[in-house]
């Protein structure tokens, strides 16, 4: 808690008239109406008004001089020794917390998701991620003051950024009036509300390693939020999300590509283009009399291992598509059926008939 006398810039022996004069001067200087209702100006005016309300009241000033902030507590049933100890513990906790905040603090880690294609996940490549970051305000360049306006040392902490508390222990605390900076901007920047910081967007290029899997997290050291008071910068965690592919599926280092073919291609064979992981394509020959689900293998055309020493295979699964037929087409199929021989179908039906006869 900031000592009230330092807030008004008067000594502990100041007369009531001196306290009143100091308050009026500071009130004119920091009144929110003179700063378009700026939040920082409002907080500073609140602190000044709070100090004056205590020091202008003889009884409250007497209690404050004797017991500090604890002397301002409303008298209640727990105002005995237990109450005093409780208030002491509360004050000590607040001071210790504020002192911890002043030490070096590591910046926060940033976590973002990055969608990559199957090609990038298998072969690797460079991609760009965008993530929010706090950076210096462009208008005030991080000073927190309107351009070409006055910044002066804080009268409360004498420009040190901290003040010496008198209760419950004489220790240094961050100055709330200047935000522990030691500098007060009389006209806070309107774009950042006097904080000197704004939310920005960082574009970062990432090297996606070959063989990365869905859900894997890449760690980029030192690319998170900046630390405070000399603390280390946080890290950037990038979670990889491999986008689904309508025709291809990856399993380990192998990739299976399902390719629809016509009845004509299944019977007489043919050629088809299959997409490869390097962004190109390869021409594959369809053997004659290919069944539905037949698998062709292309060695070494799968994904690369993370160390780059191995590559998987690409499997091409043929899917015979049943055509939608017009009335004329249906007649032609019936005619074709009369001329077709289904050796396996005939064998299967014979097996089922024999099985049924054995169960009778």
Indicate the CATH number of 248-323 among 3.40.50.2300, 3.30.930.10, 2.40.40.20, 2.60.260.20.
2.60.260.20
Distance of CA 327 to the CA centre of its chain: 59
Band of pLDDT at residue 318, cut at 50, 70 and 90: very high
Cα separation, 181 vs 229, whole angstroms: 11
pLDDT at 95 over 50: no
Residue 184 pLDDT > 60, yes or no?
yes
How does the average pLDDT of the chain come out, rounded?
Answer: 81
Contact present, 198 and 141 (Cβ < 8 Å): no
- How far from 178 is each of 131, 156, 303, 329, CA to CA, in Å? 30, 8, 58, 86
User: Looking at residues 90-118, what average pLDDT do you find?
Assistant: 68
Predicted local confidence at residue 71, as pLDDT: 63
- Identify the residue with better confidence: 168 or 314: 314
Superfamily of domain 4-102: DnaJ domain (1.10.287.110)
The more confident residue out of 127 and 211 is: 127
Mean pLDDT highest for which of 1-10, 133-142, 285-294?
A: 285-294
Q: Six-digit token pair at 8?
A: 């008004």
Residue 353 predicted with pLDDT over 70: yes
Following DSSP, what letter does each residue of 243-271 receive, concatenated? PP-SSEEEETTEEEEEEEE-HHHHHH-EE
Instruction: State the number of CA atoms in the 13 A half-sphere of 302 facing the CB.
Output: 22
Per-residue confidence (pLDDT) for residue 103, from 0 to 100: 59
The residues facing 258 across adjacent strands are: 317
Q: What is the pLDDT of residues 129-151, one digit of tens each?
A: 888 877 778 888 877 888 888 78
- As to burial, measured by CB atoms within 10 angstroms (0-12 exposed, 13-18 middle, 19+ buried), residue 247 is middle
Using the predicted structure, report yes or no on whether residue 75 has a pLDDT greater than 50: no
CATH for 105-148+190-244 is 2.60.260.20
Region(s) of the chain under CATH 2.60.260.20: 105-148+190-244, 248-323
Q: What string of DSSP letters covers 65-110? A: HHHGGGGGSPP-TT-SHHHHHHHHHHHHHHHHHHHHHHS-BPPPPE
pLDDT average, residue stretch 10-21:
89
Sequence ranges of the chain with CATH classification 1.10.287.110: 4-102
Indicate if the pLDDT at residue 76 is higher than 60.
Answer: no
Q: Which residues of 87-98 are buried (b: 16+ CB within 10 A; e: fewer)?
A: beeebeeebeeb
CB 261 within 8 A of CB 245: no
pLDDT at 172: 73
> Where do the H-state alpha helices sit in 142-204?
none
pLDDT at 70: 64
pLDDT digits 0-9 by tens, 255-271: 999 999 999 999 999 99
Q: What percent of the chain has pLDDT over 90?
A: 15
Residue with tokens 């780059």: 308
Q: What is the pLDDT of residue 98?
A: 46
Sheet holding 295-298, edge to edge: 248-251, 254-261, 314-320, 295-298
Q: Mean pLDDT across the stretch 35-58?
A: 83
pLDDT at residue number 215: 85
């Amino acid at each position: 808690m900031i000592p009230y006398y330092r807030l008004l810039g008067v000594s502990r022996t100041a007369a009531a008239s001196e306290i009143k004069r100091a308050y009026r001067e500071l009130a004119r200087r920091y009144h929110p109406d003179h700063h378009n209702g700026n939040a920082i100006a409002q907080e500073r005016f609140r602190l000044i008004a709070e100090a004056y309300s205590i020091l202008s009241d003889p009884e409250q000033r007497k209690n404050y001089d004797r017991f500090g902030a604890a002397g301002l507590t409303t008298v209640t049933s727990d105002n005995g020794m237990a109450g005093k100890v409780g208030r002491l513990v509360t004050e000590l906790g607040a001071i210790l917390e504020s002192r911890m905040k002043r030490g070096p603090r590591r910046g926060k880690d940033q976590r973002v998701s990055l969608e990559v294609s199957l090609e990038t996940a298998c072969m690797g490549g460079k991609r760009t991620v965008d993530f929010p970051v706090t950076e210096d305000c462009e208008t005030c360049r991080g000073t927190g003051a309107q351009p070409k306006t006055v910044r002066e040392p804080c009268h409360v902490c004498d420009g040190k950024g901290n003040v010496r508390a008198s209760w419950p222990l004489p220790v240094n605390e961050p100055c709330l009036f200047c935000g522990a900076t030691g500098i007060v901007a009389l006209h806070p920047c309107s774009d950042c509300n006097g904080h000197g910081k704004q939310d920005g967007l960082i574009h970062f290029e990432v090297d996606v390693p070959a063989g990365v899997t869905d859900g894997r997290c890449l760690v980029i050291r030192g690319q998170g939020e900046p630390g405070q008071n000399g603390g280390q910068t946080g890290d950037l965690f990038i979670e990889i999300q491999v986008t689904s592919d309508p025709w291809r599926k990856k399993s380990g280092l192998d990739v299976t590509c399902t390719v629809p073919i016509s009845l004509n291609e299944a019977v007489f064979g043919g050629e088809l283009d299959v997409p490869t992981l390097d962004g190109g394509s390869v021409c594959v020959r369809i053997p004659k009399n290919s069944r539905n689900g037949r698998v062709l293998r292309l060695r070494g055309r799968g994904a690369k291992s993370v160390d780059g020493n191995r590559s998987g295979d690409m499997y091409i699964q043929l899917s015979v598509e049943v055509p939608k037929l017009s009335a004329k087409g249906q007649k032609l199929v019936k005619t074709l059926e009369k001329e077709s021989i289904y050796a396996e179908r005939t064998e299967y039906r014979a097996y089922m008939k024999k099985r049924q006869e054995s169960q009778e």
